């Protein structure tokens, strides 16, 4: 359990940005993990076949990747414990804190929001989304969406009709809600997973077509992204006027692609934004940054034109003629085909860092529109509510680093050591180690045995170097567990196919990991 505690804390904090990871938030997360781990490890497997601890950590990782604060991540861990009946919301209030128990209570309210309507048609789903945006804590909504995403990733154990019922609810309610609060990573995956369960054959058709354009084992978008970034960084004219060049890439979701095919009656090869790259340029600081930035954008466009064939009818210059809301960017569509091989058209946006910030500022209104809010005044009102809620959430755990820890290390792995070293003397005593292990339900003898194992110089204390060696061992053990889970999944898939066909599939590295049946 100590290995799991240290490993889980490190995995979560390494994904979190330093701006949301203060001293008090680290303590909160550590305290929540200490409470959850022994309880979750004692519970039976969940209906989807996963261990409750694995499910809770999976949700926590999604929240950490979304850069949610420690209170939201802790609530995600505690939800699993609470729903198992192993702890009450009053226990959370007494042992973790009032604000965390309040957020946990709010998340339970959100969980049952779909019960507020009898029939989930378009009108009721739109009304329900507006209700959620107005009356629920936005962090509780994000938590609920993260739990929904984790559930959608593991729906295969359910019968087909249940998969479709859940997929329909997520498609109508949760995916647009994720759009509305600006969590696009959640919304796109929720849409695609719903699409996969609602229309499996259409999904497989699109997925196979996209994969047919990949280069070896590497996604096509990554190949194009690396090619463009290298060309931009090696261009002497561009490097003279910019200090930073970044290229972001994305696939248009399977669901969005299918919507476009059905709405416009296009063929797959005629959809010009299945692949998308965004070039963001930071001009050198100076008096003419705006002018220099625009010059850099046009130079980057010339670099793109030297790489791929531009489709002029699809290109737009929003720098020369900005949109009414002030949006500026260069939009291009290019043909990435080579050596007679056809590939999907790719959309490329080129802008400065300042233009990107302005575009992101307007993204909230666009996201609300995608979430079903079509009235501009209503969108403005809801956006103000969301911004206020987000600001309150950011302030709730804001603090300064503790003065007890002098010379605070910048590396996140040192946070566990500092949390265990409660008196701040730079070493972990047997009493400090015993306190943590007793919280995990281990007897004092276990703490003494662990101290003997880790205390390499036998001075009765754990130094930061000795504890760092232990953390390396933790990382190694957890990687082994992940690999075991991966191989177990592969084995289960093979046995499942074997049960259905009488053939056990094998993957042959000699044939490029192609599927072979024996």
What is the pLDDT averaged over residues 196-204?
Answer: 90
**Which residues face 246 on adjacent strands?**
280
What pLDDT does residue 214 have? 64
Mean pLDDT for 154-169 is 92
* Rounded mean pLDDT, 436-461: 75
- Between residues 245 and 345, the one the model is more confident about: 245
Read off the pLDDT of residues 61-95 as tens digits, 9 standing for 90 and up: 999 988 888 899 999 999 999 988 888 889 999 88
| pLDDT score recorded for residue 348 | 93
Mean pLDDT on 222-248: 91
Run of H or E including 144? helix 138-152
Tell whether the model's pLDDT for residue 479 goes beyond 80.
no
For 93-110, how does the pLDDT look when each residue is reduced to its tens digit (9 = 90+)?
988 988 899 899 888 888
Confidence of residue 374 (pLDDT cuts 50, 70, 90): low
Q: Residue written as tokens 């989807």?
A: 48
Residue partners of 323: CB distance under 8 A and separation at least 6: none
Could you name the CATH architecture of 409-495?
A: Orthogonal Bundle (1.10)
Does 296 have pLDDT greater than 60? yes
Q: Where are the domains of the chain?
A: 1-111, 218-369, 409-495
pLDDT at residue 303, rounded to an integer: 95
Report the topology of domain 218-369. Answer: Beta Polymerase; domain 2 (3.30.460)
Report the distance separating Cα 308 and Cα 234, nearest Å.
17
pTM: 0.69
- Work out the mean pLDDT of the chain and round it to a whole number: 78
Over the stretch 303-332, which tens digit does the pLDDT of each residue have? 999 999 998 888 899 999 988 878 899 999
pLDDT at 173 (0 to 100): 86
Question: What is the C-alpha to C-alpha distance for residues 304 and 89, in angstroms, rounded to an integer?
Answer: 56
Lowest-confidence segment of 197-206, 348-357, 374-383, 425-434 by average pLDDT: 374-383
pLDDT digits (tens, 9 = 90+) for 6-40: 788 888 888 887 766 677 788 888 889 989 999 99
What backbone phi and psi angles, to 5 degrees, belong to 275? -105, 140
Our CA angle for 170, 393, 102, nearest 5°, is 75
Asked whether residue 361 carries a pLDDT value surpassing 80, the answer given is: no
Asked if the model's pLDDT at residue 231 lies above 90, the reply is yes
Which fold is adopted by the domain 1-111?
Hypothetical protein af1432 (1.10.3210)
Residue 508, beta-bridge partner list? 514
Distance CA 426, CA 315 (A): 60
């Amino acid at each position: 359990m100590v290995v799991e505690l240290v490993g889980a804390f490190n995995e979560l904090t390494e994904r979190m940005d330093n701006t949301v990871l203060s001293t008090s938030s680290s303590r909160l997360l550590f305290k929540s993990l200490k409470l959850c781990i022994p309880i979750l490890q004692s519970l039976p497997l969940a209906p989807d076949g996963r261990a409750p601890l694995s499910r809770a950590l999976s949700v926590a990782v999604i929240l950490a990747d979304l850069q949610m604060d420690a209170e939201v991540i802790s609530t995600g861990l505690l939800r699993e414990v609470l729903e198992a009946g192993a702890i009450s919301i009053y226990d959370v209030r007494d042992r973790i804190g009032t604000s965390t128990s309040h957020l946990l209570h709010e998340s339970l309210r959100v969980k049952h929001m779909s019960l507020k309507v009898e029939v989930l048609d378009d009108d009721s789903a739109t009304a329900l989304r507006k209700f959620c945006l107005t009356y629920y804590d936005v962090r509780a909504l994000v938590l609920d969406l993260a739990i929904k995403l984790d559930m959608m990733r593991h729906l295969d154990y359910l019968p087909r009709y249940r998969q479709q019922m859940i997929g329909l609810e997520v498609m109508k309610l949760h995916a647009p809600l994720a759009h509305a609060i600006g969590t696009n990573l959640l919304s796109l995956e929720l849409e695609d997973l719903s699409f996969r369960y609602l229309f499996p054959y259409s999904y497989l058709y699109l997925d196979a077509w996209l994969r047919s354009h990949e280069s070896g084992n590497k996604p096509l978008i990554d190949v194009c992204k690396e090619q463009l970034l290298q060309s931009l960084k090696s261009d002497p004219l561009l490097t003279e006027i910019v200090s930073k060049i970044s290229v972001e890439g994305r696939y248009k979701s399977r669901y969005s692609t299918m919507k476009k095919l059905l709405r416009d009656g296009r063929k797959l090869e005629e959809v010009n934004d299945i692949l998308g790259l965004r070039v963001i340029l930071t001009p050198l600081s100076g008096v003419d940054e705006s002018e220099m930035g625009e010059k850099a954008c046009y130079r980057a466009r010339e670099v793109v034109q030297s790489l791929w064939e531009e489709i002029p009818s699809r290109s737009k210059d929003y720098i020369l003629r900005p949109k009414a809301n002030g949006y500026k960017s260069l939009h291009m569509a290019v043909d990435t085909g080579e050596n007679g091989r056809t590939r999907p058209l790719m959309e490329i946006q080129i802008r400065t860092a300042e233009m990107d910030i302005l575009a992101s500022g307007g993204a909230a209104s666009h996201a609300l529109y995608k979430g079903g809010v079509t009235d501009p005044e209503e969108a403005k009102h809801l956006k103000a509510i969301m911004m206020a809620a987000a600001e309150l959430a950011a302030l709730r755990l804001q603090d300064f680093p503790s003065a007890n820890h002098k010379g605070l290390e910048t590396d996140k792995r040192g946070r566990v050591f500092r949390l265990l070293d409660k008196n701040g003397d730079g070493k972990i005593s047997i009493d400090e180690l015993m306190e943590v292990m007793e919280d995990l339900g281990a007897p004092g003898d276990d703490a003494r045995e662990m101290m003997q194992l880790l205390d390499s110089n036998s001075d009765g204390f754990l130094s930061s170097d000795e504890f760092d060696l232990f953390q390396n061992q933790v990382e190694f053990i957890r990687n082994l567990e992940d690999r075991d889970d991966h191989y177990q999944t592969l084995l289960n898939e093979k046995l499942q196919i074997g049960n259905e066909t009488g053939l056990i599939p094998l993957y042959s590295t000699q044939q490029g990991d192609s599927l072979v049946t024996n």
